[in-house]
């Protein structure tokens, strides 16, 4: 298996804004309460962002806010999308000209988390348009990575599950995100907000799909070993 690498040169990944790009690696903590709101803090528990649901009659939506409740990004589910499409807009905008990026799943049916990210008004309708970023891993285990490009092993952020030992009733979920240097951390949190919104509406189904995927992968490994023994 190829070893993942981190970008060493200051070639920034800036999607939402340069004010969210730091020249050093750091860690954010994402806490989800029982109402579905997300509180994002640093390791010293300073509030960095908040993510709140703001659904309409026609769209499932989330708003990324700064610590002073100023809108940074609006994410909105794309209607009638068989590939679970989402779009991100500047501030609280909703016009095509205000779209920052879009996401979609490459397959209608998939066992593991796999989301492609396309910057600006770039679409996936043409095979020439490879994704700019991808999210892969296991959402049920809170172990997803965000990578550069479609086939790259360069990781820009990685999620890690935190076991909630505090037994606080209103905390529904808690995990950390380790972010590489020169990477837009508002962009990373926006992608995680999209991932959570996609999974929250079908959590049981997605967990079952990931379990099936693990079984299929294990069977494949066993079959390969047996084939090697008897070849």
Question: C-alpha distances in angstroms, 89 versus 39, 63, 95, 128?
Answer: 20, 10, 8, 24
Mean pLDDT of 193-198: 92
Name the token pair of 136: 């892969």
Domain ranges of the chain: 18-200, 202-231
Residue 111: the pLDDT is: 75
Half-sphere exposure of 143 (CA within 13 A, CB side): 8
Residue 94: the pLDDT is: 85
Question: Over 60: is that where the pLDDT of 215 sits?
Answer: no
DSSP the chain: -PPPB---S---B-SS-GGGB-SS-EEEEEEEETTS-EEEEETT--EEEEEEE---SS--EEEEEETT--EEEEEEEPTT-TT--EEEEETT--SGGGEEEEEE-SSSS-SSEEEEEEETT--SSSTT---SEEEEEETTTTEEEEEETTT--BEEEEEEE----S--TTEEEEEEEEE-TTBBHHHHHHHHHHHHHHHHTTHHHHHHHHHHHHHHHHHHHHHHHHHHHH-
Encode 120-134: b = buried (16+ Cβ within 10 Å), e = exposed: eeeebeeeeeebbbb
Question: Over 70: is that where the pLDDT of 196 sits?
Answer: yes
pLDDT in tens, 100-159: 999 999 886 767 889 999 998 665 555 557 899 999 999 989 999 999 987 788 999 999
Name the token pair of 35: 């109402």
49 CA to centre of own chain: 15
Question: Over 80: is that where the pLDDT of 174 sits?
Answer: yes
Cα 175 to Cα 194: distance, rounded to the nearest angstrom? 16
pLDDT in tens, 44-100: 999 999 999 988 777 889 999 999 999 999 999 987 666 678 999 999 888 888 999
Rg (CA), the chain: 18
The answer to whether 38 and 196 are in contact (CB under 8 A) is yes
Name the fold adopted by 18-200.
Answer: Porin (2.40.160)
pLDDT in tens, 6-50: 555 568 999 999 999 999 998 999 998 877 789 999 999 999 999
Residue 4: the pLDDT is: 57
* Dihedral angle over CA of 164, 171, 72, 93, nearest 10: 130
């Amino acid at each position: 298996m190829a070893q993942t690498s981190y970008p060493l040169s200051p070639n920034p990944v800036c999607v939402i804004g340069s004010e969210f790009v730091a020249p050093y690696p750091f860690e954010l903590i994402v806490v989800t309460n029982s109402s579905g709101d997300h509180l994002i803090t640093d390791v010293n528990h300073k509030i960095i962002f908040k993510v709140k649901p703001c659904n309409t009659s026609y769209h499932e939506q989330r708003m990324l806010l700064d610590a002073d409740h100023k809108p940074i990004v609006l994410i909105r589910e794309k209607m009638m999308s068989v590939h679970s499409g989402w779009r991100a807009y500047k501030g609280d905008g909703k016009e095509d000209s205000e779209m920052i990026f879009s996401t979609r799943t490459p397959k209608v049916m998939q066992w593991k988390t796999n989301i492609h990210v396309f910057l600006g008004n770039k679409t996936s309708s043409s095979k020439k348009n490879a994704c700019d970023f991808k999210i892969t891993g296991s959402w049920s285990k809170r172990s997803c990575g965000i990578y550069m490009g479609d086939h790259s092993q360069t990781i820009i952020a990685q999620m890690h599950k935190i076991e909630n030992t505090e037994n606080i009733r209103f905390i529904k979920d808690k995990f950390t995100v380790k972010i590489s240097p020169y990477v837009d951390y508002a962009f990373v949190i926006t992608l995680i907000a999209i991932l959570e919104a996609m999974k929250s509406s079908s959590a049981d189904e997605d967990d079952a799909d990931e379990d099936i995927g693990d079984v299929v992968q294990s069977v494949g490994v066993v079959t390969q070993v047996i084939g090697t023994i008897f070849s």
